[in-house]
Amino acid sequence: MENLKFSYPDTDKEALQGIDLQVPEGQCMAVLGSNGGGKSTLAKLIAGLLLPTAGRVSVFGNELSSSQNREAVAGRIGLVFQSPDEQMVATTVERELAFGPENLGLPSEEIRRRVDHLMNRFDLTEYANRSPHTLSGGEKQRLALASVLAMQPELLILDEVTSLLDPAGRQEIRNIIKELKRECTLILITQFPREALFADRLIVINDGRIVADDSPVLVFENLDKETASGIAPPLAFQLLNALNPANNPTENN
């Protein structure tokens, strides 16, 4: 992304005010930031769902300004949102998983292989013939993730996928995300600072600008008034800091 700007129609405020960012292949990058800071807007621009007002965004070497280029990369980018209900299109779990691969025009044996593998991996086999809408929130989000992975995206963007789940469902999805990190380039937008800890890199976006960009530990160590805006470092991190003798010089002896 180069000087990437975006304003929604009929608004006078820029949702993104000039983003310069390079995400190398294979990286897991977490994104934290204030509400309304522009995180989801950035995700949609990278996925080609919105077009920049100014500046450039390129994915896999294709600038996403033309519809041909957006089509060329569409099947290589997966995007999962926070609310799984909006992503369900099919009448059964199995058909939901087959939907993306069918659209990619894959041979039916390959579709069968992927669907079976993902139902197994995401513990969905017993729900194969159920309607997605009868699943629990956590099960639906597992299905939403599996459906996107069925297309084997090289870049996966997860936009607050754990935020509507109960603690058990959230933990399940977090465990899956940790595995996905090894499989593709991952952009992990989250409202939970602890989820940023397992990323290689963390950026903080406030008011349409990147205000921090470093390893998660260094970002949390260096949070100041401008960059923090409501972000508290994860509890484990606060404890570690509190126990570090360098931070408690008077108790050093």
Ligand X SMILES: Nc1ncnc2c1ncn2[C@@H]1O[C@H](COP(=O)(O)OP(=O)(O)OP(=O)(O)O)[C@@H](O)[C@H]1O
Identity of the residue, 159 or 172, whose beta carbon is nearer to ligand X in the bound complex: 159
37 binds, among ligand X, Mg ion, none (CB under 5 to 8 A by kind): ligand X
41 binds, among Mg ion, ligand X, none (CB under 5 to 8 A by kind): ligand X
Q: Is residue 86 a contact point for ligand X (CB under 6 A)?
A: no
11 binds, among Mg ion, ligand X, none (CB under 5 to 8 A by kind): ligand X
Q: Which two tokens stand for residue 239?
A: 């404890």
Q: Kind of pairing, strands 201-206 and 28-33?
A: parallel
Q: How far is the CB of 120 from ligand X (least distance, A)?
A: 33
Identity of the residue, 26 or 36, whose beta carbon is nearer to ligand X in the bound complex: 36
Of 22-51, which residues contact ligand X (CB under 6 A)? Answer: 33, 35-41
Q: Which stretches within the chain are classed as H helix? A: 39-46, 67-74, 93-103, 108-121, 137-149, 167-180, 193-196, 216-221, 225-228, 235-243
Q: Is residue 190 a contact point for ligand X (CB under 6 A)?
A: no
On the 0-12 / 13-18 / 19+ scale of CB atoms within 10 A, 252 is exposed
Identity of the residue, 114 or 170, whose beta carbon is nearer to Mg ion in the bound complex: 170
* Closest listed residue to residue 146, CA positions, set 107, 177, 169, 192: 177
Within a 13 Å sphere around the CA of 21, how many CA atoms are in the beta-carbon half? 31
Identity of the residue, 53 or 83, whose beta carbon is nearer to Mg ion in the bound complex: 83
Q: Is residue 40 a contact point for Mg ion (CB under 5 A)?
A: yes
| Summary count for the chain: helices (H), strands (E) | 10, 11
Which residues sit at the interface with ligand X, rule CB under 6 A?
8, 11, 15, 33, 35-41
